[in-house]
Amino acid sequence: MKKTLKNALVITLVAGLCLSFSGIVAAVDPSYEEIIVSPAEPPRLSEVSFSVDVTGENIEEVRVIVEECTAQICYPDLRNESMTNTQGNTWEGTVTLIHDDAIYCTTWLVIKSDGTWYNFKDLRKEFNLSIDTGNGDTNGGDGNGGDGAPGFELILLVISLVLALFIYKKKRRR
C-alpha cells in the first residue's frame, strides 16, 4: 500500500513537472494551426474575413498580414490589420483587398505575446481569388456583372457568327 502511494506520488510529480514545463513552452512560443479564410476564394477588391485559434499565454495582440499577388510577383503594400479576440482562443479580423489585378493572396499572422512580436511568415497560407464564371466576376472580370450570364453571351455570339458564316457560304454556292 505504502509502495503504491509512493509510486502514485512520483508519477504525479513527474506529470506535474511535464505539464508545467509544457506550460512554460506555450507561454514562450505562441502558435496557431490554420487561418480560416471566408469566403474561401474571395473576389478581387472584396472584404475577406479571417478567423484563427491562437494558443499561448499573455497574447496581447494578433495582426493578420495579407499579401496580394499576380503571376510571379506580389505587391509590396501588405495589408496589416488588427484582429479581435472574440471568444477563448479565437481571433477574428477583416481585410479589404485593394488590387483589381491580383490572382491570389498569401496570409500569415504577427502575434504579440509578453511584449514580444512573433512573425509567422514561414506559416503563410495561400488562397486563390475567385474565377467565378457564374456572376461575371472572373479573374478576367470586373465584378460588376451579376446577371448570371457573362461569358456565355459571348458563346452565343460565337455560335451566331459561325451560323451566319454557314448561311453566307451556302447562299454563295447557290
Partner 1 sequence: MNLRFRRLISQVVFFFSANLGFKIEGIFPGLKTGFCYPFFYCHACPSATAACPLRAIEIGVYEGKWNWKLIFYPILIISFVGVISGRGVCGWACPIGLLQRVTGKVAKKLKKKQPFLKKLGQHRLEPYLRYLKYIVFIGLVVVTPILVGFMFTDICPVGYLVGTIPISILNPGEFSPNEFFYIALVIFILFIVLIFTVERGWCRYLCPIGAMLAPFNKVSKYQVSVDKDQCIHCNICSNEACPMGIDVPNMERDPECILCGKCIEACPKDVIKFEGR
Pick from 77, 129, 131: nearest CA to 105: 129
Please state the closest distance from residue 35 (CB atom) to partner 1, in A.
15
Q: Nearer Cβ to partner 1, position 42 or 93?
A: 42
Please state the closest distance from residue 59 (CB atom) to partner 1, in A.
29
Please state the closest distance from residue 66 (CB atom) to partner 1, in A.
14
- In angstroms, the Cα distances linking 92 to 46, 62, 128 are 17, 9, 20
Q: Nearer Cβ to partner 1, position 5 or 73?
A: 73
| Backbone dihedral angles phi then psi of residue 140, each to the nearest 5 degrees | -95, -5
Q: How many residues does the chain have?
A: 174
Q: Nearer Cβ to partner 1, position 54 or 68?
A: 68
DSSP 14-26: HHHHHHHHHHHHH
Q: Nearer Cβ to partner 1, position 117 or 152?
A: 152
Instruction: Label residue 91 exposed, middle or buried (CB < 10 Å: 0-12, 13-18, 19+).
Output: buried
Please state the closest distance from residue 147 (CB atom) to partner 1, in A.
10
Residues at the site binding partner 1, with contacts judged by CB under 8 A: 41, 69-76, 101, 103, 106, 126, 128, 131-142, 145, 150-152, 154-155, 158, 162
